[in-house]
Structure 1
Amino acid sequence: MRFVLASASPARLTVLRNAGVEPVVRVSGVDEDAVAAALTDPKPTELVTALAVAKAEAIAADERDAVVVGCDSMLLTPDGAVEGKPGTADVARERWRRMAGRAGTLLTGHAVLRVVDGRVVDRAADHEATVVRFGTPTDAELEAYLASGEPLGVAGAFTLDGRGGWFVEGIEGDPSSVIGISLPLTRRLLAGIGVGVSDIW
């Protein structure tokens, strides 16, 4: 069965490969700001799920027979802000200084579409929420982390499976979801469209 990951995330690809799946990677190119702007006062969980659906749908439109998975992650801070990729070192620095010693919730939206004969015949979508407890890097550590470039292109300006892992004190929930794709949730969503994990191994 053709299994398509609608994401450029190397971390998501690694999670799937380590779990026995070799997906076809196709990047959706979805305008995330436009998707968000089209929603009326969405809850954070609705936003990440809508973005995941949009990415999966964009790729599914060009598939004939496949299962397409889309994901999107954002960090929900204790202040109620929802943060995606910081993009710049200045934004990432500010976020780390604000979150150091605190906990946030990493939200990851998931969407799974079944495409048969060029049309979507079934779909399932949901989100996973995992609490992340951040440590407090020294100024030198933070600057070195920012200089690595790693935190600039990831939700919440941190990784669990890279250099950012040095500064994560703990999590409550699914670690694979923090990395970018929840294996347990994806398995449940696949089951919801009639696909077993063994079908994609």
Structure 2
Amino acid sequence: MGAWNHDGVTSLLLASASPARLATLRAAGLDPHVLVSGVDEPAVVERYGVTDAEDVCLVLAKAKAEAVAGSEEVPEDALVLGCDSVLAFDGGEGVEVLGKPADAADATARWRAMRGRSGVLHTGHWLIDVRDPAEGGSGATLGGVASVTVHFADVSDAEVEAYVATGEPLAVAGAFTLDGLGGAFVRGVEGDPHAVVGVSLPLVRDLAREAGVLWTDLWAPRG
């Protein structure tokens, strides 16, 4: 573990376009920079040859963080965080690894299969310390996966159609949200609810700690 950073706030750069992840981090006292990676996700998965849900989300999170870490736009005092989520769901023909739906028809079919059942949402996290070692940087590059069991409500066809028509499920892994319109269609979760939104705060804290940075040093200054 690196030496603790006691010099004040360390920047966090989120390599994700997810407004839910950004909102979660802000609500926890951080004010992350955002730089979207633009990673070709299917190409990354094919290159690594992974099929297990936990491996898929972790290699994608790593690819996103690495794509951003070398950019000139990254602050010199930053930790770069990449995240990716997938849903592992067994619809009766084996476990499928589901990211964002391809279209409305895909989202509708998923919800008709998921309703009244459960799946496991896996969110991969990858953290890269880009700080200069002379300034306390650890050079750390490390990751982890937060996995949460999600129990879906037995929603009606009319509810599925109305939800899909909002467009929300088309933009998120697993075709559902916990913090949005889909919240009423989730009966419960087992695990860190933040991970369902897309970023596990306890896991990010642990990764930052391994990089030698206290979670409280990531808090934004308060006026």
TM band (smaller chain): over 0.9
2:145 corresponds in structure 1 to 127
153-162 or 137-146: which moved more? 137-146
CA distance in 1, matches of 2:70, 2:111: 38
Amino acid of the structure 1 residue aligned with 2:82: G
- Structure number with the bigger relative contact order (C-alpha 8 A, sep ≥ 6) is 2
Preserved CA contact (<8 Å) 1:60 1:120? no
Q: CA deviation at 1:123?
A: 1.3
Structure 1 residues 22-44: Cα deviation after superposition (integer angstroms, max 9, x where no partner) = 10011100000110001124422
Three-state SS of the structure 1 residue aligned to 2:140 is strand
1:175 aligns with 2:193: yes
1:77 aligns with 2:77: no
Three-state SS of the structure 2 residue aligned to 1:22 is coil
CA distance in 2, matches of 1:77, 1:104: 5
2:60 corresponds in structure 1 to 51
Count the aligned residue pairs.
Answer: 201
Instruction: For structure 1, list consecutive stretches of 5 or more residues without a partner in the other structure.
Output: none
1:27 corresponds in structure 2 to 36
2:4 corresponds in structure 1 to none
2:205 corresponds in structure 1 to 187
Q: CA RMSD in A?
A: 1.5
Amino acid of the structure 1 residue aligned with 2:149: V
Q: CA deviation at 1:184?
A: 0.6
| Largest Rg, 1 or 2 | 2
Q: CA deviation at 1:65?
A: 3.4
Alignment partner for residue 67 of structure 1, among 79, 83, 87?
79
What is the TM-score normalised by the length of structure 1?
A: 0.96
1:94 aligns with 2:109: yes
Q: CA deviation at 1:117?
A: 4.0
Structure 1 residues 45-76: Cα deviation after superposition (integer angstroms, max 9, x where no partner) = 11110100000111101134311000000000
CA distance in 2, matches of 1:152, 1:22: 27
